[in-house]
Amino acid sequence: MLDFYKKWDNVTFATLALGIMLSILFLGYNVGMSDQSDFGRVMDASSLTHYVHDRAFIFIDRYTIILEPNSLLSNAWRIMFSEEGIENYPSIHLLFVRLSVVANLFINRIIGAPLDVYRIGILGGMTAVMYAALLYWLFRQIRLQNPILDIIAKLVIIFIAVDVGYIAYFNSFFSESIQILAFMMLVVSGIRIFRGHTHPLDFVWLVLASLIFGWSKFVNIPIAFIMIAVFAVIVIFSADVGYRLRRGIIIGVIALAGLVPLMLVYNAIPDWMDIDTNYNSVFFGIVKDVDDATARRHLQSLGLSPDMAQFASTNRYVAGAAPLFRELGFEEEFENISKMDLLLFYLRHPALLWANIEMSIAHSGMIRPWYIANYGHQAERLTPSDNFSGWSWLRVRMAFDTMWGSIILWLAFAAAFLTKAIAYLSHNGRRMAIALLLAILGSAAYSVVVQMIANGEADLAKHMFVYIQFADFAFVALIVGLLYHIDENPKTLRLAELKALHNIPRFAVPIICIIALTVPLLVSSIRAILPITITPIDTARQGDIVTFGEFGSQDLQWLVIDETADALTLFAIQDVAQLPFDSGNSSFWVESDIREWLNNDFLNEVFNDTYRIVNAERDLLLSIRTQELATSGDRDFYAFHIPRYAFRGADRAYSMVVADYVRLPGADTMQTLYDMGSSHYIRGGYWLEIPRFLDGEMPRYVTRDGHIIMRDAMNSAGIRPVIIITR
C-alpha cells in the first residue's frame, strides 16, 4: 500500500485538484468572473465581441467571435497572429485568450455549432488543466516520510491553492488567471533551484515563469527582474569555483533572454495606461479626502498646478472628469508626472505612505473582490460562488488584512526560513538563502506599496491580488515547513522537546503565527455566544444595550450609539424583518417601500407614548440619478467595503436634507459604530439607506461578515432601524 502511494500520490492529488477545479467552474451553473470594464481591451485584440449586452455585475460565459468571410484555417491564423489591438494591450495574456478562441472555432466545426460561438469555459478548462499540471510538479517537490503528514501537506495546498477565489478567474478575461499560473510555476522552479537542482534547464523554467509573471501584469515586471537576478546568482554560485565562469556565461545569456523581453514590454506599455493610472494615483490617492489647502500643497510638491485641486477625490472614470481636465489645459502638464515622482512624494511624506500601506493591507482579505460576480442571470447580481470556498471563508475572518497580522506572518516566515537554512546549508548556501529571503520579502513589500503609487485607491481590492498570492504562499510554506519538521523530528511533539530552544523557531513560531492569525475569528466566535447585558433605558449611555418597543411579540434590542442631555440615538442590533428595499428596484430612500413601511406600519405597531420618537433631519446621500436634488456636496461618493474606510468623503458627497421618525443606518451610523469600537455589531446582512452612486438600483448592504457592498433594491434583506428618542 505504501509503495502504491509513493508511486501514484502526486498523480492522485493533481487529478483531485483538477476535478475540484472543473466542479467549481462547471458543476451546476457555470462560475467565473463578471466584467468591470476591463474585458474590452482583451476582446478587441482577440476578435471577440459581446453576445449579451445586459452584463453589469453578471458573469457572462458566451461571446461572439468576429469572423471574416474566409476559411476556418484563415480565420484561425488571423486570430492567432493579428497585430490588431496589441498596441493597446501588449500582454502575454492575449496568447492564451487567442488560443481559446481558435480552440472554440475548431470545436464548433467538430460539433456542428455556429462558428462564431465563443464559450469562455474553453479558456477556463485549458487554464485548469495547466494549473493541475503545475500542481503535479509542485507535489513532486514535496515528499514527507510519514504518509499521513504527506497527505496533510498536499491537502493543505489544494485547500488554499484551488479555492474558488483563485479558480473563478479562469473563466474570465482577467489576466490574473495567467498570473496564477506564472506564480505557481515560479514557486515550483524556485523550490527546485533552491533545493539543489541547478541545471541550466531549471533556470530556463524559472526565467520563463518570471517572464510570464511580469508580462501578464505590467506592475509585476520589477518582481520578475528581482527573481531572475537572485536565482541567477544562486545558480552561478552553487557551481564549483572552477566552473563558475562557464556557468556564469550560460546563466547570464539565459537571464538576458528573460530580462530583455521584460524591458521591451515595459517600454511598450501604452501611454493611456500611464495617464489613467497616474491620474488615479494623484487625485484618487494622494489628494483624496483631504481639505483644499492640503490638496493644493501636495500638488505643488509634485510640481503640478494647485488649481488641479478641484479634481481631488475623483478618479479617471468619473463622468466628465477627463474631458474637463483636458479642457482646462491640465493634461499636457500632467503627462510629465512619472511613477518615480509619485514614489519620491511618498518618501517625503512617510505618514501618508504608512497610512496608505495600512489601507492596502486592509484590502488584502478577500481573494476575489466583492464587486465581481461569479454567476450569470440565473442568480442575483453580485452573487459569489460558495463552491469549494473554505479558504475564502476562513481567510476573510483571519488577520491577513491587518497590519499586525501581516507583520507576524512575514516575521514567522523569515524566522522559519532562516532556521531551516542555518540547520541544513553551508556558509555559502546560507548567504544565498538570505538573498532569496530578501527577494521574497522585498517582492511582497513592493506588491503592497506599489498599488497606491501605481493606481491610487481605484480598484484596490483587485490590485492587491499579487500580495494575496505572496501571503498565501508564506502561510502554506509555514504549514508545510512545520509538517517537515515534525516528520524529521517526531520527538518534537514531546513536552521536553518543545521546551528546547532550538525547536522554538521551527515548531513554536509557525504555531504561534497560525494561532495569532486566527485571533479575529476566535474573538468573533466568542462574542457571538456571550450573553448580552441589558441596561435600563433611563440610565443608558453610549455603548449600552437597551430594550425598547415590541415587534412580533419580541422585545427589540438596541445599541445606544449617541447620547445628549435630551435624547438617545438607537440602532437595532437584530433584524426586525426581511424585506426588499423597494419593489421597483429603486435605491432612492425618499420614495422607497421600506421608508413607507418603517414610518407607518412599523412605527405604529412598535412604539407607545412612553418616549417620544423624534422626527429628525439628516443629510441623505444621493446617486447619480438623483444628484440634481442635492442641497449640499459636490462629489461622487464611492464606498469601500471595509467599515474603517467606507465613508470617507461622505461629508462632501451630493446629499439632500430629509426627516424621518424611523430610518435605516446611514454613513453617520456606520462610522459611529466603528469609532465606538462596536464593529462586531456592524455584521448582519441588512440594508443601509445609502445608494450606490453610479446607478439608482443598488442600495448599500452590510454582509454577515461586516463588509459593506451593494445589491439590487428588489431583493430582500434584513431591516435594522435607527431612531432618536427623547429621554
Neighbours of 427 (CB within 10 A): 6
What would the pLDDT profile of 652-668 be if each residue is shown by its tens digit?
899 999 999 999 999 99
What would the pLDDT profile of 207-242 be if each residue is shown by its tens digit?
999 999 999 999 999 999 999 999 999 999 887 877
How many folded domains does the chain comprise? 5
Domain that holds residue 188: 177-269
Task: Look at residue 632 in the predicted model and tell me its pLDDT.
Answer: 94
**Residues 487 and 630 both lie in one domain:** no
Res. 499: pLDDT tops 60: no
| Residue where one domain finishes, among candidates 226, 244, 269 | 269
Task: Look at residue 503 in the predicted model and tell me its pLDDT.
Answer: 58
* Structural domain contains residue 215: yes
pLDDT range class, residue 638, cuts 50, 70, 90: confident
Res. 11: pLDDT tops 90: yes
Q: Mean per-residue pLDDT for 627-646?
A: 89
Task: Look at residue 498 in the predicted model and tell me its pLDDT.
Answer: 52
**Residues 491 and 547 both lie in one domain:** no
pLDDT range class, residue 205, cuts 50, 70, 90: very high
* Structural domain contains residue 250: yes
**Residues 319 and 449 both lie in one domain:** no
| Residue where one domain finishes, among candidates 530, 547, 568 | 530
Task: Look at residue 5 in the predicted model and tell me its pLDDT.
Answer: 79
Task: Look at residue 3 in the predicted model and tell me its pLDDT.
Answer: 75
Who has greater pLDDT, 366 or 424? 366
SS3 569: strand
> At CB < 8 A and 24+ separation, what contacts does 524-529 make?
524/397, 524/680, 524/683, 527/680
* Structural domain contains residue 393: no
Task: Look at residue 238 in the predicted model and tell me its pLDDT.
Answer: 84
Contact 117, 65 (CB under 8 A): yes
What would the pLDDT profile of 108-136 be if each residue is shown by its tens digit?
999 999 999 999 999 999 999 999 999 99
pLDDT range class, residue 104, cuts 50, 70, 90: very high
**Residues 181 and 162 both lie in one domain:** no
Residue 67 has phi, psi (to 5 degrees) of -110, 155
Neighbours of 54 (CB within 10 A): 8
Res. 197: pLDDT tops 70: yes
**Residues 188 and 243 both lie in one domain:** yes
Spatial separation of the C-alpha atoms in residues 365 and 645, rounded to whole Å: 14
Q: Residue 65, Cα to own-chain centre: how many angstroms?
A: 30
**Residues 250 and 317 both lie in one domain:** no
What would the pLDDT profile of 253-310 be if each residue is shown by its tens digit?
999 999 999 999 999 988 888 888 899 999 999 999 888 999 999 999 999 999 999 9
**Residues 588 and 711 both lie in one domain:** yes
Task: Look at residue 439 in the predicted model and tell me its pLDDT.
Answer: 96
Res. 504: pLDDT tops 70: no
What would the pLDDT profile of 475-486 be if each residue is shown by its tens digit?
999 999 999 988
Task: Look at residue 225 in the predicted model and tell me its pLDDT.
Answer: 97
Res. 387: pLDDT tops 90: yes
pLDDT range class, residue 513, cuts 50, 70, 90: very high
CA dihedral 466, 471, 477, 478 (to 10 degrees): 180
Neighbours of 256 (CB within 10 A): 14
Task: Look at residue 636 in the predicted model and tell me its pLDDT.
Answer: 85
* Structural domain contains residue 115: yes
* Structural domain contains residue 432: yes
Task: Look at residue 306 in the predicted model and tell me its pLDDT.
Answer: 92
Average pLDDT, the chain: 91
* Structural domain contains residue 380: no
Who has greater pLDDT, 428 or 441? 441
* Structural domain contains residue 384: no
**Residues 612 and 569 both lie in one domain:** yes
Give me the DSSP letters along 570-611. Answer: EEESS-SEEEES-TT----GGG-HHHHHIIIIIHHHH--SSS
Res. 49: pLDDT tops 90: yes
Task: Look at residue 651 in the predicted model and tell me its pLDDT.
Answer: 87
Contact 377, 402 (CB under 8 A): no
**Residues 435 and 583 both lie in one domain:** no
In a 13 Å sphere around the CA of 591, the CA atoms on its Cβ side amount to: 11
**Residues 196 and 149 both lie in one domain:** no
Task: Look at residue 494 in the predicted model and tell me its pLDDT.
Answer: 58
Res. 397: pLDDT tops 90: yes
Q: Which of 256-270, 582-596, 602-616, 636-650 has the lowest mean pLDDT?
A: 602-616
Spatial separation of the C-alpha atoms in residues 417 and 411, rounded to whole Å: 10
**Residues 479 and 491 both lie in one domain:** yes
Give me the DSSP letters along 75-134. Answer: HHHHHHH--TTTTT---THHHHHHHHHHHHHHHHHHHT--TTEEEHHHHHHHHHHHHHHH
**Residues 488 and 414 both lie in one domain:** yes
| Residue where one domain finishes, among candidates 476, 510, 530 | 530
* Structural domain contains residue 35: yes
Who has greater pLDDT, 636 or 720? 720
